[in-house]
Structures are given as C-alpha cells and as structure tokens.
Amino acid sequence: MGGEWWRSAVIYQIAPRSFQDGNGDGMGDLAGISARLDYVASLGVDAVWITPFFASPMADFGYDVADYRAVDPLFGTMADFDRLLDKAHGLGLKIIIDMVWSHSSDAHPWFAHSRNRGDKADWYVWADPKPDGSPPNNWLAVFGGPAWSWEPRRRQYYLHHFLPSQPALNWRNPELAEALLAAGRFWLDKGVDGFRLDAVDFMLHDGALRDNPPRPGPVPAKPFGMQDHVHDMVQPEALDVLARIRALMIEYPGTITMAELSSTGDPVARAGAYTGGAHMHLAYSLGLMRRPFTPAALTAIIAQVATAQGRLAWAFENHDVERSVSRWGDGSPDCAAMMLALLLALEGGLCLYQGQELGLPEADLPRDRLRDPYGMAFWPEFKGRDGCRTPMPWRHDAPHAGFSSVEPWLPVADSHYELAVDVQEQDGASPLNTLRRLLRWRKRHSALLDGDTQLVDMGPQVVAFRRGGTMLCVFNPSANPVRLALPAMPAEGVGYRMDGTELVFDSWGAAFIPVG
C-alpha cells in the first residue's frame, strides 16, 4: 500500500479482552491477538485497530488510562506488544492503537498532582462551586449524573464527561498537550502505524462554562439527551488540537489518525471539518450507526457523504453499539452477508468489528452478568455495551467456543456457537467466506477503491449507486422481495438470482454490475 493507504483501507477492530485468551485466565490478551493474527490476515484487511491495553483500573475497560506508556498486566507485557507488532508487520498488517486523550483515569499520577495543586495543577479542568455550593453549571455526564465531581482537597469541582473516575484533560494547558504528544511519540517510535482518537468531540469545552440549553422532547431514559450540547463539547478550538496531533504524525510518514465522532449534531459535516490536510486523516461517527437502515435513509446519508468535505471511515458496528444484524436487520446470515457487501461498496475507509465477519447478533445478557457501568446505570431501558463485547467464537465444539479454557469475563452467547469460525470456514456461502471473497474482488477493481459515488434511482425498495462511473452497486436492505431490470449481468454479489434479464432479490441481497 502507498503513502495514502488509509483512503480505502479496511481496518479490523480488535477489543483485546474479548478476542482470544492467551494465558488461560478468562480474559483476552495481547498474546491471544498474536496467536490469531494469521486469521485476521486471511480476511484480506489492511490494518488492525486495537482498543486500549494501557495500564488502567479498568473502570471503563481501559478507556480510563493510568499510564499511557505501559501495558496493563491484564493484557501482558510490553514484550508481548512488540511481538504482536512484529508479527502483524510481517503479515502485511498495519497496527493502529487507541489514544484516549480527552480524559484519563483518576488513578493517573497526573491527577494526584493536579488535585493537590502541584506542578500539574491545571492539567485537568477545575472550576469553583456556585455560591450555594452546587456545580458550576448544568452539564451532564454521558454515563449519568452531573459532569462535575467535588474534590475536597482542592475545594473545587473537576469535569468528567463519562465516569467520575475519568477526569477531563485540559488541552488548553501547553504542558499537558506536550505530555500527551510525547506519549504518542513513544508508540510511534515503536513502529505503530496510527492512532484512533477516542471521544474527540469532548477534547475541549466552552471556557466560560455556560449552561447547555434544554433540548425539547419527551423525557429519555438517559438524561444526557435532554440537553443541546453546545458548550460542553464540539468546540471550534478543537481543530487547533487536531492540527497539533497531525503535526506529530507528519514526523512519521505513512502513519494516520482516525477520529471518533459522537452522535451530537451533524456528524458528516463534522467529519468534513475534522479531516483533511491539517487535521485527522479519517473520522467515523457513532451517529451514523444509530440512524435508520431503510433505503431512503441510506440513500440520503450516502448522498450527503458523497458531497461532503473530508474523509469518512464507514463503520456499521463497534464496541460501543449494538451488533448491526440485530440493530438493523433480522439477525440472519443473509442479512449479515448483504451488510458486509454494502460496507465494502462504500467510498472511503472501512471499519470492521471483530465478529462482524461472522454475522454475530447481539448477545442478550441477564442483569447479573453485566459488567458495563453504562448499562448497569440505565438497565433495562438501555442494556449497555456488553452485548456486543462478548468473546469471539472460534470453535463450535470447544468450551467457551475456544476463546478460553476457563470461564470468560463475559459469557459466550448460545447463538454464537453455531456461527463460530470453524463452522463458517467449511461453508463457502457463510458471511466469513463472503467477506473474504468480496474483499479479494474489491481489491481488483479500482472503481471500488478510489472511484467517486453517484446515486442511481432504481426505485424506493433498493439502494443503488455507481462507483467511479463503471460499477453499479445495488442492494436490497430488507427481507422483502425485489425484482429489477438490469443494464448488464452482475459480476459479483450475494443473495441474488437472475430471471431472464431481471435481477431478483428474494430478501437481503447485493449485486455488483459492470456498466462501462
């Protein structure tokens, strides 16, 4: 891949604790990832994004970092990471790691200095109470409750957008910014190929600490949705922060950044603002995953992205949202295969989440098996993120589906055993082998790698567009039957058949038709 490999890259996301247990403690680790890298390479992906494995109290599964330069013993050692990196590069895979730079853990030594007004006093966001002792404003935390917690040693409140144990970092402090960039340089010197930037929208806030206005509408299960988040996040000065990060990456040619965007506002427009020559390379949005999966909705978002600035990384699922075949579909392998085909047809970078290639449905866990503090706070109206984080099923006939020899940290869903890798390896039409076939085919067609996108109206039941003017891509995103007249025979696809000159989707299906 060339210097701009990221433009059409397929990035496979691995959550270490749920991928493969390498030491028999019921928790996935870096050694387990290394043991499965040959499988990842066999998919035909270009890069691997690994979610946090840094030293952490694990209050939020590693998204509460206590040391940005250390591997948590739960996942192994730095030597384990070095071996993983070397093996990945030997297989032609690039490695992207998570940088959680909007907040840290309260167990980070920086926070101890800050709350005691030491030499890092302003490395976090502090504010005085109101005269009545209440928090400085009405901001709310995503995970529930106020976004402010009282620190008696300092006699001030500190800001946290998620858990109280995840204090917000103050990017307006130049010393803090340099310390974070130095941590990034440490991993780039090791040879990592890029960073995924967590919670970019929360990196800066309104310096005047103005109240958020209310958002009209019915009362939701999660109060965070009752405010219009114009002051606690998504600030224009964030572009300056992203430019500083991009300047670091320029020192390491061929490395990239990918920003996570929240559901707030217009994520496509924000992706355009956040990506480009001076900022991030790619951005993906949680908001797009939470939109309807109908022909009209899909067509509208594809049209918006096709005319937007910047570079979007398409993602249908990840560790923060319900599995796509359950959220958008009927959970069937046919639905999974169609969604994989659609993803591979879209313009830009693409993200696959571990198990998505198997068409795994969301695991339905009882309340007493939850580990996610977000889900436990809002059960049962919101069940949290554990259902998409259960262990990968490798073998249908092995204890815990081959993930571990002992009881894992989350149970393997009963429905996942029959979808295990060893089962799908033997079925040429499985979602797994469909992905492999379509990825090989995609790499042979430049129109699908770097061609532009033009929508085609083929009726209200389907989504259709041309890539590069030469490849017509047609999808039936439902279980309803569809018949279409075609200008030519399909060259690839899933879930379709020909009836004379008509293309027939009996239900979920996709077809790729050369047209010029």
Residue 61, phi then psi, degrees to nearest 5:
60, 40
Q: Which two tokens stand for residue 439?
A: 């990825």
> Tell me, what's the pLDDT at 201?
97
Q: Which two tokens stand for residue 493?
A: 């696809």
Q: For residue 467, list its beta bridge partners.
A: 453, 471
Q: Can you give the pLDDT of all 516 residues of the chain as single tens digits?
A: 557 999 999 999 999 999 999 999 999 999 999 999 999 999 999 999 999 999 999 999 999 999 999 999 999 999 999 999 999 999 999 999 999 999 999 999 999 999 999 999 999 999 999 999 999 999 999 999 999 999 999 999 999 999 999 999 999 999 999 999 999 999 999 999 999 999 999 999 999 999 999 999 999 999 999 999 999 999 999 999 999 999 999 999 999 999 999 999 898 899 999 997 889 999 999 989 989 999 999 999 999 999 888 889 999 999 999 999 999 999 999 999 999 999 999 999 999 999 999 999 999 999 999 999 999 999 999 999 999 999 999 999 999 999 999 999 999 999 999 999 999 999 999 999 999 999 999 999 999 999 999 999 999 999 999 999 999 999 999 999 999 999 899 999 999 999 998 999 999 999 999 997
Q: Which two tokens stand for residue 459?
A: 């009726």
> Tell me, what's the pLDDT at 398?
98
How many C-beta atoms surround the C-beta of residue 2 within 10 A?
A: 6
CA 312 to chain centre: 12
Query: Which one of 29, 106, 193, 198 is the catalytic residue?
Result: 198
Rg (CA), the chain: 23
Instruction: Answer yes or no: pTM beyond 0.95.
Output: yes
Of 180, 183, 178, 145, the C-alpha closest to 162 is 145
Coil, strand or helix at 181: helix
Of 494, 510, 433, the C-alpha closest to 43 is 433
Note whether 171 and 72 are within 8 A (CB): no
CATH class of 452-514: mainly beta
Q: Please name the residues in contact with 168: beta carbons below 8 A apart, sequence gap of 6 or more.
A: 102, 103, 124, 125, 158, 159, 160, 161, 202, 205
Of 313, 260, 238, 270, the C-alpha closest to 100 is 260
Give the H/E segment covering residue 241: helix 238-250
Coil, strand or helix at 329: coil
> Tell me, what's the pLDDT at 421?
98
Of 414, 364, 422, the C-alpha closest to 396 is 422
Q: Please name the residues in contact with 179: beta carbons below 8 A apart, sequence gap of 6 or more.
A: 110, 123
Per-domain boundaries in the chain: 5-104+173-439, 452-514
Complete DSSP assignment for 433-490: HHHHHHHHHHHT-HHHHH--EEE----TT-EEEEETTTEEEEEE-SSS-EEEE-SS--
Report how far residue 250's alpha carbon sits from residue 232's, in angstroms, rounded to the nearest whole number.
30
Note whether 26 and 404 are within 8 A (CB): yes
Catalytic site includes residue 381: no
> Tell me, what's the pLDDT at 144?
97
408: which DSSP letter? -
> Tell me, what's the pLDDT at 391?
98
Catalytic site includes residue 151: no
> Tell me, what's the pLDDT at 2?
57
Query: Which one of 251, 368, 414, 457 is the catalytic residue?
Result: 251
Q: What CATH architecture is 5-104+173-439?
A: Alpha-Beta Barrel (3.20)
Report CA-CA distances (Å) from 413 to 56, 325, 421. Answer: 27, 15, 14
Peptide bond into 129 cis (omega under 30): no
